Amino acid sequence: MTPHGDGDGWVHCAAGHRHWGLFGAAGLLLRRDDAGTAEVLLQHRATWSHHGGTWGLLGGARHRRETVVDAALREAGEEGGLDPAYVEVHGRFDDSHGGWTYATVLAGARPGAVAQPTGGESIDVAWVAVEDVTSLPLHPGLAGAWPLLRDALHRPTVVVDAANVVGSRPDGWWRDRAGAARRLVDAVAGLSRSGLERSRLPPGLDLPELACWWPRWVVVLEGAARPAAQNAPQGVCVVAAEGSGDDAIVQAVHDAGGGPVLVVTADRGLRDRCHSIGAASVGSRWLADMFA
Ligand SMILES: [Zn+2]
Protein backbone atom coordinates (compact mmCIF):
# COMPACT_ATOMS: atom_id res chain seq x y z
CA MET A 1 0.00 0.00 0.00
CA THR A 2 1.13 3.56 -0.66
CA PRO A 3 1.27 5.66 2.52
CA HIS A 4 -1.19 8.21 1.16
CA GLY A 5 -2.97 6.53 -1.74
CA ASP A 6 -6.40 7.98 -2.49
CA GLY A 7 -7.84 4.47 -2.31
CA ASP A 8 -6.80 3.90 1.29
CA GLY A 9 -9.70 3.04 3.55
CA TRP A 10 -11.93 0.22 4.70
CA VAL A 11 -15.16 -0.77 2.99
CA HIS A 12 -17.77 -3.42 3.62
CA CYS A 13 -18.80 -5.64 0.73
CA ALA A 14 -22.27 -7.06 0.13
CA ALA A 15 -21.16 -10.31 1.81
CA GLY A 16 -20.43 -8.39 5.01
CA HIS A 17 -16.64 -8.66 4.96
CA ARG A 18 -14.40 -5.74 5.72
CA HIS A 19 -11.89 -4.99 2.93
CA TRP A 20 -9.03 -2.54 2.42
CA GLY A 21 -9.36 -0.35 -0.69
CA LEU A 22 -12.07 2.22 -1.44
CA PHE A 23 -11.86 1.48 -5.19
CA GLY A 24 -11.16 -2.20 -4.81
CA ALA A 25 -7.80 -3.88 -4.59
CA ALA A 26 -5.42 -5.64 -6.93
CA GLY A 27 -2.66 -8.20 -6.54
CA LEU A 28 -0.05 -9.87 -8.72
CA LEU A 29 0.16 -13.63 -9.19
CA LEU A 30 3.56 -14.08 -10.84
CA ARG A 31 4.75 -17.45 -12.14
CA ARG A 32 8.29 -18.47 -12.99
CA ASP A 33 9.80 -21.74 -14.12
CA ASP A 34 12.90 -22.51 -12.14
CA ALA A 35 14.77 -25.52 -13.50
CA GLY A 36 11.53 -27.10 -14.62
CA THR A 37 9.57 -26.40 -11.43
CA ALA A 38 6.69 -23.94 -11.67
CA GLU A 39 6.73 -21.47 -8.80
CA VAL A 40 4.63 -18.47 -7.79
CA LEU A 41 5.65 -15.38 -5.87
CA LEU A 42 3.84 -15.04 -2.54
CA GLN A 43 3.94 -12.64 0.36
CA HIS A 44 4.00 -13.79 3.97
CA ARG A 45 1.88 -11.05 5.49
CA ALA A 46 3.05 -9.09 8.54
CA THR A 47 1.30 -10.18 11.72
CA TRP A 48 -0.20 -6.73 12.31
CA SER A 49 -1.88 -6.68 8.87
CA HIS A 50 -5.40 -7.85 8.00
CA HIS A 51 -5.29 -11.68 8.06
CA GLY A 52 -1.75 -11.30 9.42
CA GLY A 53 0.56 -14.30 9.25
CA THR A 54 -1.14 -15.75 6.18
CA TRP A 55 0.39 -16.02 2.70
CA GLY A 56 -1.13 -13.94 -0.07
CA LEU A 57 -0.31 -11.91 -3.15
CA LEU A 58 1.73 -8.77 -3.38
CA GLY A 59 -1.03 -6.23 -3.75
CA GLY A 60 -3.19 -3.61 -2.16
CA ALA A 61 -5.65 -0.79 -2.62
CA ARG A 62 -6.22 0.63 -6.09
CA HIS A 63 -5.90 4.33 -6.63
CA ARG A 64 -8.92 6.09 -8.09
CA ARG A 65 -7.41 6.65 -11.54
CA GLU A 66 -5.40 3.47 -11.85
CA THR A 67 -6.03 0.34 -13.92
CA VAL A 68 -5.91 -2.91 -12.01
CA VAL A 69 -2.78 -3.94 -13.92
CA ASP A 70 -1.02 -0.70 -12.99
CA ALA A 71 -2.15 -1.08 -9.38
CA ALA A 72 -0.89 -4.65 -9.10
CA LEU A 73 2.49 -3.80 -10.66
CA ARG A 74 2.89 -0.72 -8.45
CA GLU A 75 2.13 -2.71 -5.31
CA ALA A 76 4.48 -5.51 -6.34
CA GLY A 77 7.21 -2.91 -6.75
CA GLU A 78 6.50 -1.23 -3.42
CA GLU A 79 6.22 -4.39 -1.36
CA GLY A 80 8.36 -6.82 -3.27
CA GLY A 81 10.93 -4.67 -5.05
CA LEU A 82 9.82 -6.19 -8.33
CA ASP A 83 10.75 -4.41 -11.55
CA PRO A 84 7.71 -4.37 -13.89
CA ALA A 85 10.05 -4.75 -16.88
CA TYR A 86 10.41 -8.40 -15.82
CA VAL A 87 6.67 -9.03 -15.73
CA GLU A 88 4.63 -10.30 -18.69
CA VAL A 89 0.93 -9.91 -17.89
CA HIS A 90 -1.47 -12.42 -19.42
CA GLY A 91 -4.70 -12.38 -17.46
CA ARG A 92 -7.02 -10.73 -14.99
CA PHE A 93 -9.42 -12.46 -12.63
CA ASP A 94 -12.06 -10.36 -10.90
CA ASP A 95 -13.25 -11.71 -7.58
CA SER A 96 -16.40 -9.66 -7.11
CA HIS A 97 -17.92 -9.52 -3.65
CA GLY A 98 -20.75 -7.14 -4.57
CA GLY A 99 -19.70 -3.52 -4.25
CA TRP A 100 -16.05 -4.48 -3.88
CA THR A 101 -13.69 -6.39 -6.18
CA TYR A 102 -10.27 -7.93 -5.75
CA ALA A 103 -8.56 -8.20 -9.14
CA THR A 104 -5.78 -10.74 -9.54
CA VAL A 105 -3.34 -9.95 -12.33
CA LEU A 106 -1.74 -13.14 -13.68
CA ALA A 107 1.70 -12.91 -15.21
CA GLY A 108 4.88 -14.75 -16.08
CA ALA A 109 8.31 -13.64 -14.87
CA ARG A 110 11.03 -13.00 -17.42
CA PRO A 111 14.45 -14.51 -16.64
CA GLY A 112 16.27 -12.51 -13.99
CA ALA A 113 13.20 -11.28 -12.11
CA VAL A 114 14.06 -10.74 -8.45
CA ALA A 115 11.91 -9.96 -5.44
CA GLN A 116 12.45 -9.35 -1.75
CA PRO A 117 10.45 -7.74 1.06
CA THR A 118 10.77 -3.97 0.65
CA GLY A 119 7.80 -2.58 2.55
CA GLY A 120 6.80 -3.02 6.16
CA GLU A 121 3.92 -5.30 5.26
CA SER A 122 5.87 -8.48 4.65
CA ILE A 123 7.51 -11.01 6.89
CA ASP A 124 8.84 -12.50 3.68
CA VAL A 125 8.38 -12.57 -0.08
CA ALA A 126 9.15 -15.99 -1.54
CA TRP A 127 8.88 -18.18 -4.62
CA VAL A 128 6.73 -21.17 -3.69
CA ALA A 129 6.36 -24.32 -5.79
CA VAL A 130 2.84 -24.44 -7.23
CA GLU A 131 2.23 -27.86 -5.71
CA ASP A 132 3.15 -26.55 -2.23
CA VAL A 133 0.85 -23.52 -2.22
CA THR A 134 -2.10 -25.22 -0.54
CA SER A 135 0.10 -26.50 2.28
CA LEU A 136 0.61 -22.88 3.44
CA PRO A 137 -1.87 -20.95 5.59
CA LEU A 138 -3.34 -18.84 2.78
CA HIS A 139 -5.11 -15.52 2.89
CA PRO A 140 -8.81 -16.42 2.50
CA GLY A 141 -9.12 -14.45 -0.75
CA LEU A 142 -6.27 -16.37 -2.36
CA ALA A 143 -7.44 -19.69 -0.91
CA GLY A 144 -10.88 -19.24 -2.47
CA ALA A 145 -9.62 -18.31 -5.92
CA TRP A 146 -6.58 -20.61 -6.04
CA PRO A 147 -8.19 -23.62 -7.78
CA LEU A 148 -9.14 -21.38 -10.72
CA LEU A 149 -5.96 -19.30 -10.67
CA ARG A 150 -3.79 -22.38 -10.63
CA ASP A 151 -5.23 -23.40 -14.00
CA ALA A 152 -4.58 -19.94 -15.44
CA LEU A 153 -0.86 -19.63 -14.68
CA HIS A 154 0.26 -20.20 -18.27
CA ARG A 155 -0.07 -17.65 -21.00
CA PRO A 156 -2.09 -18.81 -23.99
CA THR A 157 -0.77 -18.32 -27.52
CA VAL A 158 -2.88 -17.44 -30.56
CA VAL A 159 -1.33 -18.34 -33.92
CA VAL A 160 -2.91 -16.57 -36.89
CA ASP A 161 -2.91 -18.02 -40.41
CA ALA A 162 -2.73 -14.61 -42.06
CA ALA A 163 -3.39 -15.82 -45.61
CA ASN A 164 -6.55 -17.56 -44.48
CA VAL A 165 -7.85 -14.66 -42.40
CA VAL A 166 -7.10 -12.03 -45.05
CA GLY A 167 -8.63 -14.24 -47.72
CA SER A 168 -11.90 -14.63 -45.83
CA ARG A 169 -13.02 -11.08 -46.69
CA PRO A 170 -13.36 -10.03 -50.33
CA ASP A 171 -12.06 -6.50 -49.81
CA GLY A 172 -9.56 -6.36 -52.67
CA TRP A 173 -6.70 -7.88 -50.70
CA TRP A 174 -5.41 -9.68 -53.81
CA ARG A 175 -4.30 -6.34 -55.29
CA ASP A 176 -1.88 -5.70 -52.39
CA ARG A 177 -1.19 -8.80 -50.34
CA ALA A 178 1.53 -7.22 -48.20
CA GLY A 179 -0.65 -4.19 -47.46
CA ALA A 180 -3.60 -6.36 -46.48
CA ALA A 181 -1.37 -8.49 -44.25
CA ARG A 182 0.04 -5.36 -42.63
CA ARG A 183 -3.48 -4.14 -41.79
CA LEU A 184 -4.10 -7.50 -40.13
CA VAL A 185 -0.84 -7.30 -38.16
CA ASP A 186 -1.68 -3.78 -36.96
CA ALA A 187 -5.19 -4.83 -35.97
CA VAL A 188 -3.79 -7.80 -34.04
CA ALA A 189 -1.40 -5.42 -32.25
CA GLY A 190 -4.46 -3.49 -31.07
CA LEU A 191 -5.98 -6.69 -29.69
CA SER A 192 -2.69 -7.51 -28.03
CA ARG A 193 -2.93 -4.25 -26.09
CA SER A 194 -6.63 -4.38 -25.24
CA GLY A 195 -6.74 -8.09 -24.45
CA LEU A 196 -9.64 -10.46 -25.02
CA GLU A 197 -12.56 -10.18 -22.69
CA ARG A 198 -14.30 -13.38 -21.73
CA SER A 199 -17.12 -12.92 -24.25
CA ARG A 200 -14.63 -12.70 -27.13
CA LEU A 201 -12.92 -16.02 -26.50
CA PRO A 202 -13.93 -18.69 -28.98
CA PRO A 203 -15.86 -21.74 -27.84
CA GLY A 204 -13.67 -24.81 -27.79
CA LEU A 205 -10.71 -23.11 -26.15
CA ASP A 206 -10.78 -24.60 -22.67
CA LEU A 207 -9.54 -21.70 -20.55
CA PRO A 208 -10.45 -20.76 -16.98
CA GLU A 209 -13.01 -17.97 -16.79
CA LEU A 210 -10.93 -14.86 -16.37
CA ALA A 211 -12.33 -11.38 -16.96
CA CYS A 212 -9.63 -10.77 -19.56
CA TRP A 213 -6.78 -12.64 -21.24
CA TRP A 214 -3.74 -11.13 -22.93
CA PRO A 215 -2.47 -14.00 -25.08
CA ARG A 216 0.81 -14.03 -26.95
CA TRP A 217 0.03 -13.35 -30.62
CA VAL A 218 1.91 -14.94 -33.51
CA VAL A 219 0.99 -13.98 -37.10
CA VAL A 220 2.37 -16.20 -39.85
CA LEU A 221 2.84 -14.68 -43.31
CA GLU A 222 3.64 -16.47 -46.53
CA GLY A 223 4.42 -15.66 -50.14
CA ALA A 224 3.73 -12.11 -51.33
CA ALA A 225 2.55 -11.08 -47.84
CA ARG A 226 6.00 -11.62 -46.28
CA PRO A 227 7.24 -8.00 -46.56
CA ALA A 228 4.58 -7.08 -43.98
CA ALA A 229 6.79 -8.70 -41.33
CA GLN A 230 9.20 -5.75 -41.44
CA ASN A 231 9.07 -3.28 -38.54
CA ALA A 232 6.31 -5.21 -36.83
CA PRO A 233 4.51 -3.33 -34.05
CA GLN A 234 5.04 -4.22 -30.40
CA GLY A 235 2.97 -7.03 -28.98
CA VAL A 236 2.91 -9.24 -32.08
CA CYS A 237 5.42 -11.86 -33.17
CA VAL A 238 5.32 -11.84 -36.98
CA VAL A 239 6.80 -14.86 -38.77
CA ALA A 240 7.62 -14.67 -42.47
CA ALA A 241 7.49 -18.31 -43.59
CA GLU A 242 10.52 -19.41 -45.56
CA GLY A 243 8.56 -22.12 -47.30
CA SER A 244 5.11 -23.50 -46.56
CA GLY A 245 2.95 -21.28 -44.35
CA ASP A 246 1.29 -24.39 -42.90
CA ASP A 247 4.63 -25.80 -41.77
CA ALA A 248 5.52 -22.47 -40.15
CA ILE A 249 2.19 -22.48 -38.29
CA VAL A 250 2.76 -26.02 -37.00
CA GLN A 251 6.24 -24.95 -35.91
CA ALA A 252 4.76 -21.94 -34.07
CA VAL A 253 2.46 -24.33 -32.18
CA HIS A 254 5.48 -26.43 -31.18
CA ASP A 255 7.39 -23.32 -30.10
CA ALA A 256 4.57 -22.00 -27.91
CA GLY A 257 5.82 -24.14 -25.04
CA GLY A 258 3.50 -25.26 -22.29
CA GLY A 259 0.49 -22.99 -22.41
CA PRO A 260 -2.72 -23.50 -24.37
CA VAL A 261 -2.56 -22.71 -28.10
CA LEU A 262 -5.30 -21.55 -30.44
CA VAL A 263 -4.78 -21.59 -34.20
CA VAL A 264 -6.91 -19.25 -36.29
CA THR A 265 -7.60 -20.84 -39.67
CA ALA A 266 -10.43 -22.33 -41.66
CA ASP A 267 -8.09 -24.74 -43.44
CA ARG A 268 -9.27 -28.26 -42.56
CA GLY A 269 -5.97 -30.02 -43.20
CA LEU A 270 -4.02 -27.50 -41.16
CA ARG A 271 -6.53 -27.69 -38.34
CA ASP A 272 -6.12 -31.47 -38.21
CA ARG A 273 -2.34 -31.15 -38.04
CA CYS A 274 -2.60 -28.62 -35.20
CA HIS A 275 -5.17 -30.67 -33.26
CA SER A 276 -2.87 -33.69 -33.42
CA ILE A 277 -0.21 -31.75 -31.47
CA GLY A 278 -2.61 -30.44 -28.85
CA ALA A 279 -3.72 -27.05 -30.21
CA ALA A 280 -7.32 -25.87 -30.46
CA SER A 281 -8.56 -24.05 -33.54
CA VAL A 282 -11.15 -21.51 -34.58
CA GLY A 283 -12.29 -20.36 -38.01
CA SER A 284 -10.79 -17.20 -39.47
CA ARG A 285 -14.14 -15.43 -39.19
CA TRP A 286 -13.69 -15.30 -35.41
CA LEU A 287 -10.80 -12.90 -35.87
CA ALA A 288 -12.00 -11.12 -39.00
CA ASP A 289 -15.33 -10.30 -37.32
CA MET A 290 -13.54 -8.52 -34.48
CA PHE A 291 -12.12 -6.02 -36.97
CA ALA A 292 -15.27 -5.63 -39.04
ZN1 LIG B 1 -16.11 -9.49 0.63
Last residue of a domain, one of 150, 177, 199: 150
Count of domains for the chain: 2
CA of residue 141 to ligand 1 center, whole Å: 9
Average pLDDT over residues 28-43: 93
Q: How far is the CA of 154 from the centre of ligand 1 (A)?
A: 27
Q: How far is the CA of 85 from the centre of ligand 1 (A)?
A: 32
pLDDT digits (tens, 9 = 90+) for 63-79: 999 999 999 999 999 99
State the chain's mean pLDDT as an integer. Answer: 93
Which ranges constitute the DSSP H helices of 17-125? Answer: 68-80
Q: Does position 188 have pLDDT exceeding 80, yes or no? A: yes
Determine, yes or no, domain membership for 4: no
Q: Are both 164 and 287 inside the same structural domain? A: yes
CA of 258 to the centre of ligand 1 (A): 34
Q: Point out the domain boundary residue: 150, 168, 198.
A: 150
Distance, in Å, from the CA atom of 79 to the CA atom of 188, rounded to the nearest integer, reads 34
CB atoms within 10 A of CB 59: 30
Query: What's the 49 CA to ligand 1 centre distance in angstroms?
Result: 17
User: What pLDDT does 2 receive?
Assistant: 47
Q: Which residue segment(s) compose the domain that 56 sits in?
A: 10-150
pLDDT digits (tens, 9 = 90+) for 137-174: 999 999 999 999 999 999 999 999 999 999 988 888 88
Asked if 146 and 202 sit in the same domain, the reply is no
Query: Residue 20 falls within a domain, yes or no?
Result: yes
Tell how far the Cα of 67 is from the centroid of ligand 1, in angstroms.
Answer: 20
DSSP 175-188: G-HHHHHHHHHHHH
- Residues of the chain with pLDDT > 90, as a percent, come to 80
What are 98-148's pLDDT values in tens digits? Answer: 989 999 999 999 999 999 999 788 899 999 999 999 999 999 999 999 999
Q: How far is the CA of 166 from the centre of ligand 1 (A)?
A: 47
Residue 172 and residue 43 share a domain: no
Rounded to the nearest angstrom, the distance between the alpha carbon of 260 and the centre of ligand 1 is: 32
Q: Let me know whether 15 and 35 are in one domain.
A: yes
Give the burial string for 247-274 (b: 16+ CB within 10 Å, else e): ebbbebbeebeebbbbbbbbbeebbebb
- Write out pLDDT tens, residues 244-263: 999 999 999 999 977 899 99
User: 180 and 264, same structural domain?
Assistant: yes
Ligand 1 centre to CA of 98 (Å) is: 7
208 alpha carbon – ligand 1 mean position (Å): 22
Bigger pLDDT: 3 vs 55: 55
Report yes or no on 241 lying in a domain.
yes
CA of 145 to the centre of ligand 1 (A): 13
Distance 220 CA to ligand 1 centre (A): 45
